[in-house]
């Protein structure tokens, strides 16, 4: 055996794990079936702009150890996520805050906004009572209870139905347990103490993590699995867990996405990195304009062109890119059975979003990799 660890997947989980193991003096080989490292954070430089090829990626966390770790590998800019929503030609700030309430109702004070919201929530409670229900039975009823009819119909219903590919009254209420509303004029989407984008794109981060580590690209673990299992004492697997066990309990369900990448010959297409389209009849959910992740102020006009991506939700079928796990109780129970099989594999460590069948943001993924590496070093 030539290596201590074969790491399947050069995404954040695999790259962080490999980096930490190399620091321990271990010999690591990283393989990825894609032709690039970085997994879904991959952001190549195209005509002077870093394009987030697998959807907008904004780093944010309050975890001090993760902040310290990423800052050793990349310098983060001051990007603050403050998306805009468009509905029937009208613009709204997100997340729901005093700016949104002013745009929706013309209210100017927190007391006025609270009164409007409370009136609409009362209507939703009365409707539930009229139906003889003590609890919301679907996402629509849940959202109406939380934010009332105006916000629901303008900013939530169409977007959510596109995203999930079905009507909101057939979706479980648990999908939106909370819908944060803020009675301050603050468009910063995240409450975390740290957010930004690595200067030079996410590739700077992954290239630094993988520096000095052997990486082989366009290599699928499942094509030659027996041979791969022999190259290292242990295997770290960050691919889909159901595939690892030959789908013996069935496929875990996902939602997929399709990205339409476009170059536009104008310097500033939409004035913001993320614009959500909340109407049901616009087929995409959002347009990303990548230069706004890294150019601010006058710098936006430095290049006469721009790159945009339209993001279309898509049904997932076996073979398509698995993006969002659909964590229904049945799917989670199925994953639990795979997890039990995984626990019996003493030479294989499972981790990352596909092996854990969880939607992880980047920072929690790094946290999982730090923990997994620490456990391994004990």
| Contact residue for ligand FAD among 4, 27, 44, 55 (CB under 6 A) | 55
Structure tokens at 89: 């030609």
DSSP 247-302: TTT-PPPEEEEEEEEEEESSS-SSSSSEEEE--TTSS-SEEEEGGGGT--GGGGGS
The DSSP bridge pattern shows strands 232-237 and 3-8 to be parallel
Q: Is the dihedral of CA 186, 189, 194, 196 positive or negative?
A: negative
Q: Is residue 155 classed as helix, strand or coil in its secondary structure?
A: helix
d(CA 53, CA 47): 14
x/- contact string, 288-327, with ligand FAD (CB under 6 A)?
-----------------------------------x----
Pattern 57-96, ligand FAD, x by CB under 6 A: xxx-------------------------------------
Annotated active-site residue in 51, 182, 353, 367: 182
Q: Please give the Cα distance from 329 to 44 (Å, whole number).
A: 37
Chosen residue from 5, 7, 22, 39 binding ligand FAD by CB under 6 A: 39
Task: Give the separation between CA 70 and CA 187, rounded to whole angstroms.
Answer: 25
User: Is residue 199 flagged as an active site residue?
Assistant: no
Name the segment binding ligand FAD (CB under 6 A); options: 33-41, 108-116, 124-132, 280-288: 33-41
- Residue 10 engages ligand FAD in binding (rule: CB under 6 A): yes
Helices 157-164 + 139-151 axis angle, to 10: 140
Q: Which of 192, 220, 279, 376 binds ligand FAD (CB under 6 A)?
A: 220
Burial of 304 (0-12, 13-18, 19+ CB in 10 A): exposed
Q: Which is nearer to ligand FAD, 227 or 266 (CB)?
A: 227
By CB under 6 A, residue 44 contacts ligand FAD:
no
- Which of 269, 316 has the CB closer to ligand FAD? 316
User: Does the annotation count 130 as an active-site position?
Assistant: no
Q: How far is the CB of 15 from ligand FAD (least distance, A)?
A: 7
255 is catalytic: yes
Q: Which residues, including other chains, have CB under 8 Å from residue 171's CB and lie 6 or more apart? A: 138, 139, 140, 160, 164
Is 5 annotated as catalytic? no
Under the binding rule (CB under 6 A), the answer on residue 221 touching ligand FAD is yes
Q: Tokens representing 169?
A: 């009254």
Question: Quick check: is 361 catalytic?
Answer: yes
| Binding span for ligand FAD by CB under 6 A among 37-45, 151-159, 263-271, 326-334 | 37-45
Report, in this order, helix, strand and coil percent for the chain, each rounded to 5.
Answer: 40, 20, 40
Which among 117-125, 158-166, 269-277, 354-362 is the span making contact with ligand FAD, rule CB under 6 A? Answer: 354-362
* CA gap 24, 17 in Å, rounded: 11
Which of 175/303 has CB closer to ligand FAD?
Answer: 175
Looking from the CA of 33 toward its CB, the CA atoms found within 13 Å total: 11
How many other β-carbons are positioned within 10 Å of the β-carbon of residue 175?
17
Q: Is 286 a catalytic residue?
A: yes
**x/- map, 252-291, ligand FAD, by CB under 6 A:** -----x----------------------------------
∠ CA 242-14-56, nearest 5°, is 85
Using CB under 6 A, pick the residue from 99, 238, 276, 285 that binds ligand FAD.
Answer: 238
| Closer residue to ligand FAD (CB): 27 or 34 | 34
Binding ligand FAD by CB under 6 A: which of 6, 7, 8, 252? 8
- Positions annotated as catalytic residues are 178, 182, 255, 286, 311, 359, 361
Binding site for ligand FAD (CB under 6 A): 8-14, 31-34, 39-41, 54-59, 220-222, 238-239, 257, 323, 352-354, 360-363, 365
């Amino acid at each position: 055996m030539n290596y201590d660890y074969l790491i399947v997947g050069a995404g954040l989980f695999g790259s962080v794990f490999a980096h930490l193991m190399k620091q321990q003096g271990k010999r690591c080989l990283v393989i990825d079936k894609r032709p690039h490292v970085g997994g879904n954070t991959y952001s190549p430089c195209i005509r002077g702009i870093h394009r987030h090829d697998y959807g907008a990626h904004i780093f944010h966390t309050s975890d001090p150890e993760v902040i310290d770790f990423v800052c050793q590998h990349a310098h983060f800019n001051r990007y603050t996520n403050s998306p805009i929503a468009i509905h029937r030609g009208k613009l709204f700030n997100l997340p729901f805050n005093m700016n949104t309430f002013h745009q929706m109702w013309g209210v100017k004070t927190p007391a006025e906004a609270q009164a409007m919201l409370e009136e609409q929530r009362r209507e939703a409670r009365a409707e539930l009572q009229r139906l003889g229900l003590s609890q919301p039975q679907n996402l629509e009823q849940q959202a109406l209870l939380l934010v009332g009819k105006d916000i629901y119909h303008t900013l939530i219903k169409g977007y959510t139905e596109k995203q999930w590919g079905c009507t909101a009254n057939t979706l479980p209420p648990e999908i939106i347990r909370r819908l944060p509303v803020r009675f301050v004029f603050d468009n910063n989407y995240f409450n975390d103490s740290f957010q930004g984008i690595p200067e030079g794109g996410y590739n700077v981060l992954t290239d630094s993590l993988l520096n000095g580590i052997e990486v082989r690209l366009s290599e699928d673990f499942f094509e030659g699995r027996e041979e791969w299992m022999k190259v290292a004492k242990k295997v770290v697997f960050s691919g889909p867990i159901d595939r690892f066990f030959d789908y013996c309990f069935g496929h875990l369900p996902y939602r997929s996405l399709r990205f339409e990448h476009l170059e536009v010959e104008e310097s500033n297409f939409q004035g913001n990195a993320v614009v959500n389209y909340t109407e049901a009849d616009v087929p995409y959910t959002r347009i990303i304009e990548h230069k706004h992740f890294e150019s601010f102020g006058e710098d936006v006009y430095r290049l006469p062109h721009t790159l945009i991506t339209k993001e279309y939700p898509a049904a997932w079928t076996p073979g398509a890119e698995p993006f969002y796990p659909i964590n229904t109780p049945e799917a989670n129970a199925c994953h639990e059975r795979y997890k039990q099989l995984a626990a019996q594999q003493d030479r294989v460590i499972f981790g990352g979003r596909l092996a854990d069948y969880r939607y992880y943001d980047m920072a929690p993924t790094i946290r999982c990799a730090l923990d997994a590496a620490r456990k391994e070093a004990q």
